Amino acid sequence: MDNEIGLGTYFLIIVYPVVGLFAIEMACRTAKISNWIKLLTQAVMCVGFGITYLTVNVGQWLTATVLLALAIALFYQAKVSKLNPEKAPY
Residue 57: predicted pLDDT: 65
- Whole-number pLDDT of residue 65: 92
pLDDT per 10-residue tile (average), the chain, 90 residues:
70 90 95 92 95 80 91 94 76
CA–CA gap between residue 58 and residue 32 (Å, rounded): 38
pLDDT at residue number 66: 93
At residue 12, the pLDDT reads 84
**Residues 35/85, Cβ–Cβ less than 8 Å:** yes
CA distance 88 to 77: 7
Q: Please give the pLDDT value at position 3.
A: 60
